[in-house]
Structure 1
Amino acid sequence: MNMNIAHPGSPGTKTFSKKAECVSPYSQIGDICIWVSSSALTNAEARWKCQMDGGDLVTFHTFDKIQLVEDFMAANGIGVNGRRSVGAYLDVLSLKWDWVDGSGLNSSSPWCAPDNTLDPTEGCVQLQNSCFHDSSCSDTHEYICEIMM
Structure 2
Amino acid sequence: MLNSEPSAELPGSQQQAAGGSKVTAERVAVVVLLAAAVIAFGYTRHKYHQTTEHLQKLIDENAAMRKNITKTRCEVMTVQKPCPQPPAEPCGKCQEGWEQNGPQCYYFSTDQLTWEQARERCRRDGGALVKIESEDEQSFLMHTLRDKMVEKEDRFWIGLTDSVTEGTWLWTDGTPLNKSLTFWGKGQPDNLKGENADGQDCVRMGEISRSGLKWWFDKSCTAPQKRICEKSAETGR
Tell me, yes or no, if structure 1 residue 128 matches structure 2 residue 206. Answer: yes
Query: How many residues end up aligned between the 2 structures?
Result: 128
CA contact under 8 A between 1:123 and 1:134: conserved in structure 2? yes
Q: Which residue type is aligned with residue 174 of structure 2?
A: G
Q: Which residue type is aligned with residue 95 of structure 2?
A: V
Residues of 2 paired with 1:124 and 1:97: CA distance?
A: 9
Residues of 1 paired with 2:190 and 2:142: CA distance?
A: 27
Q: How far apart are residue 117 of structure 1 and its match?
A: 4.1
Which structure has more relative contact order (CA 8 Å, sep 6+)? It is: 1
Kindly report which structure 2 residues correspond to 1:1-149, keeping only aligned pairs within 5 A, or say none.
Answer: 21-74=93-146, 77-79=147-149, 81=152, 82-93=154-165, 95-108=167-180, 109-114=182-187, 116-117=189-190, 120-129=198-207, 130=213, 131-149=215-233
Larger Rg: 2
Q: 5+ residue gaps in structure 1?
A: 1-19
Residues of 2 paired with 1:142 and 1:91: CA distance?
A: 19
Q: TM-score, normalised by structure 1?
A: 0.74
Q: TM-score, normalised by structure 2?
A: 0.49
Residues of 1 paired with 2:145 and 2:190: CA distance?
A: 30
Q: Which residue type is aligned with residue 24 of structure 1?
A: E
Q: How far apart are residue 83 of structure 1 and its match?
A: 1.5
Match of 1:96, SS state, is coil
More helix by share: 2
Q: Deviations over 1:116-145 (max 9, x none)?
A: 445652111001134211111100001111
1:89–1:116 Cα change, 3 Å: closer
1:132–1:92 Cα change, 3 Å: same
Q: Which residue type is aligned with residue 230 of structure 2?
A: E
Q: Which residue type is aligned with residue 224 of structure 2?
A: T
1:60–1:94 Cα change, 3 Å: same
Residues of 2 paired with 1:64 and 1:121: CA distance?
A: 30
Q: How far apart are residue 113 of structure 1 and its match?
A: 3.2
Question: What residue number does 1:9 align with?
Answer: none
Q: How far apart are residue 91 of structure 1 and its match?
A: 4.3
Q: How far apart are residue 92 of structure 1 and its match?
A: 3.0
More strand by share: 1
Percent identity between the two aligned chains: 28
Q: Which residue type is aligned with residue 202 of structure 2?
A: C
